[in-house]
Homo-oligomer: A and B are copies of this chain.
Amino acid sequence: MNPTIKDIAREAGCSIQTVSRALNNKEEIDPGTKKRILEIAKRLNYSPNILASSLRLKKTKTLGIVIPDNRDPFYAEILQGASKKAREYGYQIILSVLSHRGCNVEEELAALRTLISQRVDGLLLQPEQEESLYIDALRGCPIPYVLYNRAPKGLVCNYVTHNHEQGAFIACSHLFESGKKEIYYLIRKPQTSSIKARIKGCEKAIEKYGLPKNSIHIIDCEDSVDDAYQKTKSLLDHYVPQAFHTWDDIMAIGVVKAIIDKGLRIPEDVSLVGYNDILIARYFNPPLTTVRQQLTFMGETAVDILIQKITDKTNKRVEHVELTLELVKRATT
């Protein structure tokens, strides 16, 4: 069994309190006894039981984060940023990976409840379900939390996002500016606020360039390279559009493959704008023109805000950070 401060105390012939003081670098202790105690602790291979101290201290130095899928570079990069930052602050990460994108509310609520039961000091979340059941749970959430990527309407809370409307707007504008008259946009049917915002951005671009309403065709597509590939392939079988835009770079990669398989050239025959600028986007062949989101930085920023909320409970101000977007022009347009 793991030794406890009690064991050390017995060994050192002092009280557990003295041991606690030595272990925690408190001032009020004789340097000699402190040294002796630390030596004993080392010899016994003592490992402090954080559970016990957390219970007592009512804080765990732990952050909970929920993501839907770590195989998607989008979330993997966010998690990377969050973990690094957490470590800098001396916090541990408890990770909850959902079964899939847009999973059912029950699963998401369960993940939230478990994290709260673990008494994490703060939460990093992106609501998969923006319906009231989950949002209500958030309203009653007893610990600080920061939302990343999306901000559901009607929930006053801290969040760090990119402007999805603007992102889709600059993507479409870029295509329209280079003379394209139509865009096929691979995206899931509007459910989340972020998807709706993107669609709105498209509409604004249409308006700005004075094009007909149906210049952008939505193709309902899952967030996966496979589905993007299949959907594009089917489309190309009977029609070759001037340009594609996709929800993310992963889907863009599927689109590229379908285009190339068809023997078409990019961007000569078809143009394409992706989204996110994931790490491989610039190394892809052809290098992807895409809208850059600051993914790792989003994770870092979310943790910054969260730690601030945790350490300064008095500050009730709500933090909204909107990170900047930019179009990165490469070889697919």
Interface contact B285-A49, CB-CB below 8 Å: no
Please name all residues of chain B whose beta carbon is closer than 8 Å to the beta carbon of A79 when the two chains form the complex: 70, 95
| A165 interfacial by beta-carbon distance below 8 Å | no
A279 CB contacts on chain B under 8 angstroms:
71, 225
B51–A118 touching, CB < 8 Å: yes
Q: Closest B-chain residue to A224, C-beta based?
A: B279
List, in ascending order, chain B residues with CB within 8 A of A60's CB: 51
Closest to A88 in B: B99
Asked whether, in the complex, the Cβ of B253 is within 8 Å of the Cβ of A280, the reply is yes
In the complex, whether A45 has a CB less than 8 A from a CB of chain B is: yes
- CB of A2 within 8 A of CB of B142, answer yes
Q: Which of A127-135, A172-180, A209-217, A254-262 contacts B (4 or more CB under 8 A)?
A: A254-262
Among B49, B80, B280, the residue within 8 A (CB) of A70 is B80
The 8 closest A-B pairs by CB, nearest first: A83-B97, A76-B76, A70-B80, A95-B95, A285-B285, A93-B95, A50-B117, A51-B55
Q: Is the CB of B45 within 8 A of A49?
A: no
Q: Is A54 an interface residue (CB 8 A)?
A: yes
Complex contact B99–A84 (CB within 8 A): yes
Contact A70 B70 (CB under 8 A): yes
A155 proximity list for chain B (CB < 8 A): none
Give Cα distance in the complex from A285 to B331, angstroms. Answer: 14
Contact A119 B49 (CB under 8 A): yes
A94 CA to B115 CA in the complex, in Å?
A: 11
Known pairs A51-B55, A92-B114 / 9 extra A-B pairs, C-beta < 8 Å: A52-B55, A70-B76, A70-B79, A70-B83, A84-B99, A92-B94, A93-B95, A94-B94, A95-B95
Is A229's CB within 8 Å of the partner chain B?
yes
Count copies of this chain in the complex: 2
CB distance from A250 to the nearest CB of B (A): 8
Q: Which of B50, B71, B97, B285 contacts A284 (CB 8 A)?
A: B285
C-alpha gap A134/B211 in the complex (Å)? 64
Structural contact, A119 and B76, CB atoms closer than 8 A: no
How many A residues, CB 8 Å from partner?
Answer: 53
Distance of A250 Cα from B283 Cα, bound (Å): 10
Shortest C-beta distance, A127 to chain B (Å), equals: 19
Contact A225 B96 (CB under 8 A): no
Contact with B along A77-103 (1 / 0, CB 8 A): 101100110010000111111010000
From A2, which residue of chain B is reached at the shortest CB distance?
A: B142
Is A319 in contact with chain B by the CB < 8 A criterion? no
Q: Is the CB of A97 within 8 A of B87?
A: yes
Assuming the contacts A96-B92, A97-B87, asked whether A283 and B48 have C-beta atoms less than 8 A apart, the reply is no
**In the complex, are the beta carbons of A283 and B229 less than 8 A apart?**
yes
Asked if A326 is at the interface of the complex by the 8 Å CB criterion, the answer is: no
- A296 CB-CB contact with B under 8 Å: yes
Contact check, B55 vs A140: say whether CB atoms are below 8 A apart. Answer: no
Which of B50, B73, B260 is close to A73, meaning CB atoms less than 8 Å apart? B73
Contacts of A76 in B (CB 8 A): 70-71, 73, 76
Asked if A69 is at the interface of the complex by the 8 Å CB criterion, the answer is yes
